[in-house]
């Protein structure tokens, strides 16, 4: 079986973490009898520098032909002043939209070995296993907006949040289906006490839930959810929410694992899946070789699982990560005295060695 993988390293720490993940992916594929052909393409700031556009046609054509895509991160302060239509982040938004990637799965797991990494108490985080299902093709990210301009003598700008029933139904159905393979519990998160779009979200969520009588669905306001996630995270199984709320809650959930460098994601739709860590390009540590590659390596595991049904290979990558952490190896973000501090490359190599 020969499969085409498009790599998009992007900016900042992107190239460093993608290199580590590519090596892991290559070994995992070989073990499961899949042959990968890799193609590397530009997006984000790197593409702006080369082609004056964050998402070149060549990259778009390549991802459309691909069987799966692995992305590092885009953006950085050097592109903060470019016009809004060609910001580096537009590359990610464009890829998600063009490929119809409407569901973003962000698993947050805290195995016992990592329980003392968090700033939260170990007994609060040990055993956490939450799946955040973030709607990825709608909401305020893609609503009508007006960039800052003068309106009646005052500078103004606006963005709009809008959801349609079909958009809500498809993400809720997906959340209920994945809950069936987990603990059959879905928490739908909204702001229905204030927002009209959230009231439609809540009503539709309740109706979709009736199609899944073996799944328990609760509704929670997003402000309370933000608090509950750090107060008692073990109450959650699947959390399903809008594009913006999912973005914010998943960075918050990263604290349970000790570092945002730990969290992977899978963006799924009808075409090829796109896999990326949830963090950004980390300009503050870029080029130093100290970034944590685990979020990207775990994204490679999700790629094996969701794009190729290679459950064994995915499990082996996840086990290799856990074994490396259990052996006391850490990148700087998770380092504690008495453990072994490794560079990005060394951590990648350890995980590779532990992949068996």
Is residue 191 flagged as an active site residue?
A: yes
User: Which residue is it, tokens 């970034």?
Assistant: 291
Query: Catalytic one among 251, 327, 335, 341?
Result: 251
Looking at residues 79 to 138 of the shown chain, list those that interact with ligand NAD (rule: CB under 6 A). Answer: 89, 92
Contact between 276 and ligand NAD by CB under 6 A: the answer reads: yes
Q: How far is the CB of 84 from ligand NAD (least distance, A)?
A: 13
Residue 167 interaction partner, one of ligand IPM, Mn ion, ligand NAD, none, beta carbon < 5-8 Å per kind: none
Is residue 67 flagged as an active site residue?
A: no
Query: Catalytic one among 11, 102, 163, 191?
Result: 191
Residue (73 or 297) nearer to Mn ion, CB: 73
Structure tokens at 233: 């995270």
Looking at residues 137 to 176 of the shown chain, list those that interact with ligand NAD (rule: CB under 6 A). Answer: none
User: Which residue is it, tokens 């990263």?
Assistant: 254
Which of 303, 333, 352, 355: binder of ligand NAD (CB under 6 A)?
Answer: 333
Element (H, E) at 22: helix 14-31
Residue (247 or 318) nearer to ligand IPM, CB: 247
Dihedral sign, CA of 288, 111, 224, 144?
positive
Which of 6, 20, 66, 278: binder of ligand IPM (CB under 6 A)?
Answer: 278
Residue 138 interaction partner, one of ligand IPM, ligand NAD, Mn ion, none, beta carbon < 5-8 Å per kind: none
Looking at residues 76 to 135 of the shown chain, list those that interact with ligand IPM (rule: CB under 6 A). Answer: 89, 92-93
**Phi and psi (nearest 5°) for 176?**
-65, -40
Looking at residues 233 to 292 of the shown chain, list those that interact with Mn ion (rule: CB under 5 A). Answer: 247
Is residue 141 flagged as an active site residue?
A: yes
Angstrom distance (rounded) from CA 20 to CA 345: 6
- Coil vs helix vs strand at 275: strand
Query: What is the total count of residues that contact ligand IPM (CB under 6 A)?
Result: 6
Structure tokens at 205: 């969520």
- Coil vs helix vs strand at 324: helix
Report which of 352, 292, 273 is spatially closest to residue 117, judged by C-alpha positions: 292
Which of 63, 70, 291, 352: binder of ligand NAD (CB under 6 A)?
Answer: 291
Contact 277, 3 (CB under 8 A): no
Residue (278 or 304) nearer to ligand NAD, CB: 278
Report which of 277, 283, 285 is spatially closest to residue 254, judged by C-alpha positions: 277
What is the distance of C-alpha 284 from the center of its chain? 20
Structure tokens at 146: 């007006």
DSSP state of 339: S
Structure tokens at 235: 């109450």
Alpha helices in 262-330 (DSSP H): 294-308, 311-326
CB burial of residue 54 (10 Å; 0-12, 13-18, 19+): buried
Q: How far is the CB of 195 from ligand NAD (least distance, A)?
A: 24
Query: Catalytic one among 102, 247, 329, 350?
Result: 247
Residue numbers in the known binding site for NAD(+) are: 76-89, 280-292
Which of 100, 111, 271, 283: binder of ligand NAD (CB under 6 A)?
Answer: 283
Is residue 223 flagged as an active site residue?
A: yes
Which of 118, 187, 241, 292: binder of ligand NAD (CB under 6 A)?
Answer: 292
Contact between 333 and Mn ion by CB under 5 A: the answer reads: no
Query: Catalytic one among 49, 52, 218, 223?
Result: 223
Residue numbers in the known binding site are: 76-89, 96, 106, 134, 223, 247, 251, 280-292
User: Which residue is it, tokens 């009736």?
Assistant: 210
Q: Which residues are catalytic?
A: 141, 191, 223, 247, 251
Tell me which residues touch Mn ion (CB under 5 A): 247
């Amino acid at each position: 079986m020969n499969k085409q993988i498009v790599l998009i390293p992007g900016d900042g720490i992107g190239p460093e973490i993608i290199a580590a993940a590519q090596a892991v992916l290559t070994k995992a594929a070989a073990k499961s009898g899949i042959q990968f052909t890799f193609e590397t393409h530009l997006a984000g700031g790197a593409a702006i520098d080369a082609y004056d556009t964050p998402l070149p046609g060549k990259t778009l054509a390549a991802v459309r032909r691909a069987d799966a895509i692995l992305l590092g991160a885009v953006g950085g302060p050097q592109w903060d002043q470019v016009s809004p239509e060609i910001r580096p982040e537009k590359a990610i938004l464009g890829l998600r939209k063009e490929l119809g990637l409407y569901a973003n799965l962000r698993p947050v797991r805290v195995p016992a070995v990592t329980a003392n990494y968090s700033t939260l108490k170990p007994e609060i985080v040990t055993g956490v296993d939450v799946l955040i299902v973030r709607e990825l093709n709608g909401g305020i990210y893609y609503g009508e907006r007006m960039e800052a301009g003068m309106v009646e003598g005052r500078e103004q700008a606006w963005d709009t949040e809008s959801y349609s029933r079909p958009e809500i139904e498809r993400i809720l159905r997906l959340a209920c289906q994945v809950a069936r393979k987990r603990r059959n519990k879905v928490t739908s998160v909204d702001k229905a006490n204030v927002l009209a779009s959230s009231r439609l979200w809540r009503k539709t969520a309740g109706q979709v839930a009736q199609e899944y009588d073996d799944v328990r669905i609760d509704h929670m306001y997003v402000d309370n959810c933000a608090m509950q996630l750090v107060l008692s995270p073990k109450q959650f199984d699947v959390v399903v929410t809008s594009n913006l709320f999912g973005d914010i809650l998943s960075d918050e959930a990263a604290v349970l694992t000790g570092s945002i460098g730990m969290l992977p994601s899978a963006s799924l739709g009808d075409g090829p899946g796109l896999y990326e860590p949830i963090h950004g390009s980390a300009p503050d540590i870029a080029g130093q070789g100290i970034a944590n590659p685990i979020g990207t390596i775990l994204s490679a595991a999700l790629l094996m699982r969701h794009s190729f049904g290679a459950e064994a290979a995915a499990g082996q990558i996840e086990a290799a990560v856990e074994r490396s952490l259990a052996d006391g190896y850490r990148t700087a973000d998770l380092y504690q005295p008495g453990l072994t501090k490794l560079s990005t490359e060394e951590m990648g190599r350890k995980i590779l060695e532990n992949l068996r």
